[in-house]
Chains A and B, each alone.
Chain A
């Protein structure tokens, strides 16, 4: 028996060493392991995935535009990652609980977020919009990797309650360097928690290439924690759906945690404050543009004569409605009253904060008196 374990794969740069069901050119590739998980996906279902991705891209484009027009403080674009987000999120049941990061626009779209949910936080009107329990999705997490532990804790709760739900955490390649993600895998494995980790390897953590985080394919780490993993083409929505259905089923049926690495690419900047031309070259971006997740589904559908003009027109119209809704939700946002900064710090009365709140209210009232002609203060 060998007692020395050596890495056998080179850095996480081989973007074609992945499970795949649709080639970048739109050809359907058979895969004995994954095919059974998408046997029910007919042309209509595939068009549904195309529609989801198109709408997500439209929301994302609108977000970037609103930021450029000064209506949002910031935006974290997801362009290029639509297949990863839509494909994996379509594998959940509505009563599963998802812990996304801030870039998971497509995940939240699938979970049921409405137009205002995508913009109000970036506009600075609220830290969150939807009630997490309404769509069984936590507020997108900004601290890198922190939510991985929340998903594991939630999954431990599922075990105690004895239900067959699953929890899931989304995080990026950068997050895999965080202690929390590694601790999450230890806890998940120890307790055999029904949790799925989805690592969106989009090749870049702001300016740092994935090779700074990993000298070995990221999916290869999970088995070291006792967690089975799968490396999937993150730009292949069908493969993402199949991989995630396998993973969710594994967790749901009492087999413990699973780790999915979706290999994809962040086509845009980290956020609208970032300038990716400083750290990556155009050729790389162009290479990935040819692997676009939307065009490959379109090509597959076209090759089968299942991409009618009418469908294309309908989706485009629906996308424009989403764009308009997002814009309108942003522009019609009403900023809360100043005194509301004190709301919800605590659930129960707090003598210290109540005094500060009363003082600030009195201070604000002073301006109201002055405005009403009450004279100098």
Chain B
């Protein structure tokens, strides 16, 4: 065990994956000499050379499309998209090629590409640097989508994503990059929980709180605060948002009968909508109250000074918990157009 930041644990994940498998290479903008704008690829160029640590031209579709060609050739590219809001030029290659080539070729061509995306808000950044585009990828069959919430998961799940023969979109929350945690770098990857499994981050009995990514720590804070109020919240870190581990989710909901989902991404047709639809299908007769979503508003990401009013914070989560428990809450007596 060692104390590492998430950025460093991802760096170690890349380093060890590259050391273990000569077919693994990393590519993206500024990832070589600079070590990435977040220094996640720091030192890799010196260790593995420019053929496996590729500073690419500034063109995201080009990065993704050449990664497809490298995968055709048998490589396992790990692509860094510099910021969440820069992924859209690569969207066509991701949706039409990365996600579909295995299906198109009836399994003859695999696309073991890991798409790393520094992700989401709360870091006071400029426009296009704080987005949560995960639902687009969750909606795209052929991809797996994961979001990490702590340095240990970041390390293990990155190794698993790189080892997967399927393409994986790997979301790493920017605001956790410098947060330290215990990391076991020598963990046996085969023994570690698969990236598709959810993790019960905190056990509880009154409300199931579903979330992923950086929002897990906000959810944990909310659960601790609620405990003082006599409310027991079970926090589930989904880890994988496509596919979702509904076995773990449903077991929790059947126990608590109440569900709150929180994510930074906007609400409309978001991951929360899918979670609640599926939970309702699977657990309808166990539900004691309508499930509630606490999400970013359906707005473009606001200017940095206003982002705290957009991101679902501890108080908004607790307000939603009050709603599912039918306790006084922000909507009590309020006339809100439905």
Q: Could you say which residues of chain A place their CB within 8 Å of the CB of B93?
A: 146, 149, 180
Q: Could you say which residues of chain B place their CB within 8 Å of the CB of A99?
A: 69
Q: Is A59 an interface residue (CB 8 A)?
A: no
Q: Could you say which residues of chain B place their CB within 8 Å of the CB of A344?
A: 102-103, 105-107
Summed over the interface, the residue pairs from A and B with CB atoms below 8 Å come to a total of 146
Q: Is B74 an interface residue (CB 8 A)?
A: yes
Q: Is B242 an interface residue (CB 8 A)?
A: yes
Which of B50-58, B146-154, B295-303 contacts the other chain?
Answer: B50-58
Q: Is B142 an interface residue (CB 8 A)?
A: yes
Q: Is B110 an interface residue (CB 8 A)?
A: yes
Q: Is the CB of A343 within 8 A of B243?
A: no
Q: Could you say which residues of chain A place their CB within 8 Å of the CB of B67?
A: 153
B38-63 contacts to A, CB under 8 A, are: 51-52, 54, 56-57, 59, 61-62
Query: Quick one: given A153-B70, A179-B89, A183-B61, are A159 and B104 in contact (CB under 8 Å)?
Result: no
Q: Could you say which residues of chain B place their CB within 8 Å of the CB of A332?
A: none
Taking the nearest CB of chain A, how far is it from the CB of B25, in angstroms?
Answer: 8
B149-172 contacts to A, CB under 8 A, are: 164-166
A132-184 contacts to B, CB under 8 A, are: 132-133, 138-139, 143, 146, 148-161, 167, 179-180, 183-184
Q: Is A377 an interface residue (CB 8 A)?
A: no
Q: Is B96 an interface residue (CB 8 A)?
A: yes
Q: Is the CB of B196 within 8 A of A157?
A: no
A185 to B225, CA, bound (A): 56
Q: Is the CB of A152 within 8 A of B65?
A: yes
Q: Is the CB of B74 within 8 A of A157?
A: yes
Residue in A closest to B57 when the chains form the complex, CB atoms: A186
Q: Is the CB of B196 within 8 A of A183?
A: no
Q: Is the CB of B70 within 8 A of A156?
A: yes
Q: Could you say which residues of chain B place their CB within 8 Å of the CB of A353?
A: 141, 243
Partner of A180, one of B61, B110, B142: B61
A340-366 contacts to B, CB under 8 A, are: 343-348, 350-353
Q: Is the CB of A346 within 8 A of B65?
A: no
Q: Is the CB of B62 within 8 A of A348?
A: no
A98-139: contact bitstring with B at CB < 8 Å (1 yes, 0 no)?
Answer: 010000000000000000000000000011100111000011
Q: Is A92 an interface residue (CB 8 A)?
A: no
Q: Is the CB of B51 within 8 A of A158?
A: no
Q: Is B203 an interface residue (CB 8 A)?
A: no
A159 to B51, CA, bound (A): 8
Q: Is the CB of B73 within 8 A of A126?
A: no
A190 to B50, CA, bound (A): 13
Q: Is the CB of B89 within 8 A of A167?
A: no
Q: Is the CB of B243 within 8 A of A351?
A: yes
Partner of A347, one of B56, B92, B104, B110: B110
Q: Could you say which residues of chain B place their CB within 8 Å of the CB of A167?
A: 69
A157 to B51, CA, bound (A): 9
- Interface on chain A toward B: helix, strand, loop, or mixed SS? helix
Taking the nearest CB of chain B, how far is it from the CB of A376, in angstroms?
Answer: 25
A348 to B93, CA, bound (A): 21
Q: Is A187 an interface residue (CB 8 A)?
A: yes
Q: Is A265 an interface residue (CB 8 A)?
A: no
Taking the nearest CB of chain A, how far is it from the CB of B150, in angstroms?
Answer: 23
Query: Quick one: given A183-B59, A186-B62, are A352 and B243 in contact (CB under 8 Å)?
Result: yes
A344 to B141, CA, bound (A): 11
Max chain A Cβ within 10 angstroms of own Cβ: one of B75, B106, B247 = B106
- A side interface size, CB within 8 A: 44
Q: Could you say which residues of chain A place their CB within 8 Å of the CB of B87?
A: none
Q: Could you say which residues of chain A place their CB within 8 Å of the CB of B96?
A: 143, 146
Q: Could you say which residues of chain A place their CB within 8 Å of the CB of B246?
A: 351
Partner of B106, one of A128, A159, A350, A352: A128
Q: Is the CB of A151 within 8 A of B102?
A: no
Q: Is the CB of B142 within 8 A of A187?
A: no
Residue in B closest to A162 when the chains form the complex, CB atoms: B51
Query: Quick one: given A143-B92, A186-B59, A347-B165, are A132 and B66 in contact (CB under 8 Å)?
Result: no
Q: Is the CB of B69 within 8 A of A157?
A: yes
Query: Quick one: given A138-B72, A149-B66, A157-B69, are A190 and B57 in contact (CB under 8 Å)?
Result: yes
Q: Is the CB of A345 within 8 A of B103?
A: yes
Q: Is A204 an interface residue (CB 8 A)?
A: no
B65-121 contacts to A, CB under 8 A, are: 65-75, 89, 92-93, 96-97, 101-110
Q: Is B276 an interface residue (CB 8 A)?
A: no
Partner of A346, one of B89, B108, B142: B142
Q: Could you say which residues of chain A place their CB within 8 Å of the CB of B142?
A: 345-346
Taking the nearest CB of chain B, how far is it from the CB of A120, in angstroms?
Answer: 11
Q: Is A197 an interface residue (CB 8 A)?
A: no
A184 to B68, CA, bound (A): 12
Q: Is B245 an interface residue (CB 8 A)?
A: yes
Additional A-B contacts beyond A149-B66, A161-B73 (6; CB < 8 A): A146-B65, A149-B61, A151-B69, A153-B67, A167-B69, A352-B243
A–B complex contacts, Cβ < 8 Å, 26 sampled: A128-B104, A128-B105, A132-B108, A132-B109, A146-B65, A146-B96, A146-B97, A149-B61, A149-B64, A149-B93, A152-B65, A154-B72, A154-B73, A157-B74, A160-B75, A167-B69, A183-B57, A183-B65, A186-B62, A345-B141, A345-B142, A347-B164, A350-B166, A351-B245, A351-B247, A352-B244
